[in-house]
A and B are shown apart, each in its own frame.
Chain A
Amino acid sequence: MKKRFGLLLALIAALVMLVVPVGNTTHAQAADNSLEKIQKKGVLVMGTSPDYPPYEFQATVNGKSTVVGMDVQIGKKVAKDLGVKLKIKSMSFDSLLVALQTGKIDMIISGMNPTPARRKNVAFTHTYYQGGYDIVINKTDKAKYKNKDSFSGGTLGAQTGTTQYNASKSQTKNTTVKGMTSQSDLILALQSHKLDGVAMEKPSAEAYVSNNKQLAAIPSDFNMSSSATSSAIAFRKGSTSLVNKVNKTVDQIKKENLVKKDYLPAAGKYLKTNTVNTSMTHYWKAFLTGIEYTLIITVCSVFFGFIIGILLALARMAKGNFFKNLLRWIATAYVEFIRGTPMMVQVMFVYFGLGLFVNLPALTSGIIAISLNSGAYVAEYIRGGINSVNIGQTEAARSLGMSNGETMRYVVLPQALKNIWPSLGNEFITLIKDSSIVSIIGVTELIYQSNIVRSDTYRGVAPIVVIMVLYFILTFTASRILNYFERKMQHD
């Protein structure tokens, strides 16, 4: 199903390789103790992208949002046979390969096809499932479309980075192919007639059709090699002993036909319970968690960003000897670099790049990345604020015998902060919104939670409306509070 990792991720990976030129090769060449290492650790971390029912998706189990699906069943069986515990880490499909290579996860089970291109980077087990492709259409169009060749002049959709996306592009004529990252977005686009059909794997297509009476599935008739339609488990390259051991489990699964007999029906059960209660109030806990994490990220990032900002601003104004000039140069370069690169890339770089040296949890990585980013902007505000304080203030303080530092701390900074308070408030509100970016590394903030609710309920718009309102409540409340303090400061 899913084939290549995104261009952005490739770039990050390249960067990471540059930073640590020997990292991965030494892994591969080192004596293979992969099996021993996992069993010693006692935990097997499985990476997956839970937006692909019935392979893997989010469902509410005993009131808690949980990753379920046939791949999860396979992961559990693999862990059990290894005698270790299974831990599931969710992230976008595009991030999985990098996460595996940088040691964030131990294996990928996410309906991944063992394509030759992927085999260059990771080691695959035997395939555990042989699938195929369908195209989901609106039931009203059933007479119009027969297979992939019926969409001439129309528009097909598919999940980006997947095999079916590439097949849609190369194996159709006169057809526009639109890529989106999430399956539920594609279905939504189909229902609002922005797309004429959505190519996806058979089990997924069947799950959508059985859950939504307005949809129908037709065969795709894509011309595929078997490696492109089968799914296998990915491990880090060189972990032969681990792969060999897991192959025994995979072979047993295939021999006993466990996927069709047990796993798919079990997954289907979750799909059914899903559609019972799809009202947004039913998911208030999910949204509350989202708000909680959004606020944690924002408040921490504002705090650390402010400290970083002050240090950077002072460094940028250092002048005099060689050391001070160097400091100024570094700070200036830092600010320019941070402001000139997307925050999304920075977040991924901290999570995957720094992850090579220290294993940082996603939340910590997110806070670090956003603080570093915000610091660069805050530094510019503070620098502006300091420059806005009359030079006479500094002269008066210095003439009283105060040192440069004392002058800054007691006279200039308090006035500068008062001047830039509105800008700082703006930064805080911007951060509430920008914190949404860390959803890509799997932090359970508002956006991430809304995506879960969307794939959980098959409702595309309602969760978006809910978080839109929630974001507005957060930012509006924040701006009211900031205004209150601004007025209070004005009285002083």
Chain B
Amino acid sequence: MTKPVIEVEKLAKSFGENQVLKEITEQVNPGQVIVVIGPSGGGKSTFLRCLNLLETPTSGKVAFEGHDLTTMDTKGVNSLREKMGMVFQGFNLFPNMTVLENIKLAPMKVKGTDDASATKRAHELLERVGLDDHADAFPDSLSGGQAQRVAIARALAMDPEVMLFDEPTSALDPEMVGEVLNVMQELAKEGMTMVVVTHEMGFAKSVADRIWFMADGYIQENNTPDEFFAHPETERAKDFLSKILM
């Protein structure tokens, strides 16, 4: 049996009085694509951000390849973050650098990769997301879909073992959603382990190995997409699906 890449045990997070995550216990296996769906405010993004400790959990355990991040020092957390790429809703490209520099920065500064190999790798990744002709452009001049593809390439430049996607298409114009989802689908096909928070039900249905339905601070259902969309078990899930599938 394969060991899980990410294990979450009794993970809880509160912002002041407001308990956003209530003791979540789940695991992600290598090569799995997990799609987290659920109503807004249900704690999906917070959950994802707890996985690489962008949010510090209030209690519980988050382990990556068996190492508990919550008890680790900053240095250890930094080195594990390298292995978990993250893509944000708002792209968060560095506006003062070109596309190429955006991608090269972390490999060069964190991993100590030399300029030539970092540049070569960056071009390969840009090729892969279909944007090599934009290598010298600044982020401001890109469309939303292009910017998000660059952000994916930037995360991939660190050769992560897991990719975390936090609503990657929510800030995009509808006609640009497709180009980003295509890149993600390609990644999934190549066997990348992914945890995706999204509202794209089509993507969830066709790409996900498991659907985690999350509402009110915990994961209410964990099922295959076929089962989940055909036979939701909880009232909360039924209610959610009835609203979005209209």
Chain A interface residues (CB < 8 Å from chain B): 390, 392-393, 395-404, 406, 410-411, 414-415, 418, 492
Contacts and interface: CB of A to CB of B under 8 A. Distances in A.
A234 to B, nearest CB: 61
Judged by DSSP, the binding face of A is helix
Given A390-B92, A399-B164, A401-B79, 6 more contacts: A396-B151, A397-B106, A399-B52, A399-B155, A400-B85, A401-B82
B158 A400 contact: yes
A400 B77 CA distance: 11
A397 B109 CA distance: 11
Contacts of B52: 399
Contacts of A399: 52, 54, 81, 84-86, 155, 164
B18 interface: no
B241 interface: no
A396 B110 contact: no
Contact of B88 (A392, A404, A414, A492): A392
Contact of A400 (B74, B75, B95, B155): B155
Given A401-B81, A418-B96, A406 B86 contact: no
Contacts of B71: none
A411 B101 CA distance: 11
A411 B54 contact: no
A406 B110 contact: yes
Interface in B63-78: 74-75, 78
B90 interface: yes
Contacts of B92: 390, 392-393, 395-396
Nearest to A393: B92
Contacts of A398: 54, 78, 81
Contacts of B86: 395-396, 399
Contacts of B5: none
Nearest to B101: A410
24 contacts: A392-B88, A392-B92, A393-B94, A396-B86, A396-B88, A396-B154, A397-B106, A398-B54, A398-B78, A398-B81, A399-B54, A399-B85, A400-B85, A400-B155, A401-B78, A401-B79, A401-B81, A401-B82, A402-B78, A403-B110, A406-B110, A410-B109, A411-B105, A415-B94
B88 A402 contact: no
Interface residues of B, number: 28
B96 A492 contact: yes
Given A392-B88, A393-B94, A396-B94, A401 B54 contact: no
**A-B pairs, 5 with minimum CB distance:** A401-B82, A396-B92, A399-B86, A400-B106, A392-B92
Contacts of A397: 94, 106
Interface of B: 52, 54, 74-75, 78-79, 81-82, 84-86, 88, 90, 92-96, 105-106, 109-110, 138, 151, 154-155, 158, 164
Contacts of A390: 90, 92
B94 A411 contact: yes
Contacts, number: 69
Contacts of A406: 109-110
Nearest to A409: B109
Nearest to B84: A399
Most chain B CB within a 10 A radius of its CB, from A393, A400, A402, A411: A400
A49 B109 CA distance: 58
Contacts of B84: 399
Contact of B154 (A395, A400, A414, A418): A400
Contacts of B54: 395, 398-399
A410 B158 contact: no
A37 B96 CA distance: 62
A401 B75 CA distance: 9
A392 B139 CA distance: 15
A186 B88 CA distance: 70
B42 to A, nearest CB: 21
Given A392-B88, A395-B88, A410-B105, A402 B110 contact: yes
B143 to A, nearest CB: 18
Contacts of B81: 398-401
A404 B74 contact: yes
Contacts of A396: 86, 88, 92-94, 151, 154
Given A392-B88, A392-B90, A396-B88, A401 B106 contact: yes
Contacts of A401: 78-79, 81-82, 106, 110, 158
Nearest to A403: B78
A393 B88 CA distance: 10
B110 A492 contact: no
A415 B106 contact: no
B36 to A, nearest CB: 17
Contacts of B94: 393, 396-397, 411, 415
A415 B88 contact: no
Contacts of B106: 397, 400-402
Contacts of A392: 88, 90, 92
Contact of A402 (B90, B109, B155): B109
